[in-house]
Amino acid sequence: MNARDWDRLAAAYAAEVCDIFARDRRQVIARWLRARGLLRGRRTVLDLGCGIGSFFKRHGRHFGRKTGTDHSRRMLRIAARRCHAVPDCHWRQADAQRLPPELRGCADLVVCSNVITFVSAAACRRAMRETVGGAKPGAWLLFILPALESHDAIVSLETGRPAPPRPGTTAVVRRDDRRQRFYSAEGARQLAVRAGLRAVTVRKVWYPWSDEGIGRAPRGHEPPWDWCVTARRPAGL
């Protein structure tokens, strides 16, 4: 999807797309931020592909200067409106695959949530490189990536057939009329390791069944989840 497609989706976005920061009922993300000491000391944050500003709306008040970038002007406009009460938010129209030079090495924490899902593997690598480039040496990064295992489990539940084995660690999946790259746990880990990141951890962030259009939780099944990948930019990278 290009910037114009995202512009078109912007008005309906809040209703149509799962907001992982609001839907993380088990507080996996908040607990990680707290455990790393990131909620203290007014740290600087860069949120690449910030969408309608959900990370800043949910966690922004704990941080210092906050910059959200997105290629969609409309998404940014909605983000600014939703975060009007959150101090020190700055918005910038930019391509996640080409970080503006002034944002290089600017952040104590870089967030990139459900953005590195491009059909092209080369585009994912480029966006990954630029995301890492936004972090200060030694800073933390937090990625949210769609989970292939969760997707397969839901398809299997809906069809009553076991999911066929996957040959690779990532796959392009069609969902809601758009094709997106999904990651297995190993694929998510590899994405971070190959970008040169250290202290890589992959966790599940569960969200409610209703976000998958399933009204009642099926007994004996784990709720759907995204991968939360956390890692650190080494000083020498």
Give me the half-sphere count of Cα atoms (radius 13 Å) on the Cβ side of residue 30: 15
**Smallest separation, CB 7 to ligand SAM (Å):** 8
CB atoms within 10 A of CB 209: 17
CB atoms within 10 A of CB 20: 23
**Smallest separation, CB 113 to ligand SAM (Å):** 3
**Smallest separation, CB 98 to ligand SAM (Å):** 8
> What 3-state DSSP class applies to 146?
strand
Among 33, 45, 50, 124, interactor with ligand SAM by CB under 6 A: 50
Check binding of 54 to ligand SAM (CB under 6 A).
yes
Compose the 77-116 pattern: x for residues touching ligand SAM by CB under 6 A, - for all others.
Answer: ------------------xxx---------------xxx-
Could you say which residues in the range 204-233 bind ligand SAM, by CB under 6 A? none
Tell me phi and psi for residue 194, to 5 degrees: -70, -20
Check binding of 200 to ligand SAM (CB under 6 A).
no
- Which residue's entry shows tokens 């949530």? 113
Check binding of 20 to ligand SAM (CB under 6 A).
yes
Tokens of 104: 């290089």
Q: Closer to ligand SAM at the Cβ: 50 or 137? A: 50
Q: Which residues contact 94 (CB under 8 A, 6 or more apart)?
A: 69, 70, 71, 100, 103
Check binding of 70 to ligand SAM (CB under 6 A).
yes
Helices within 17-115 (DSSP H only):
20-23, 28-35, 54-59, 73-82
Which positions touch ligand SAM (CB under 6 A)? 6, 17, 19-20, 49-51, 54, 70-72, 75, 95-97, 113-115, 144
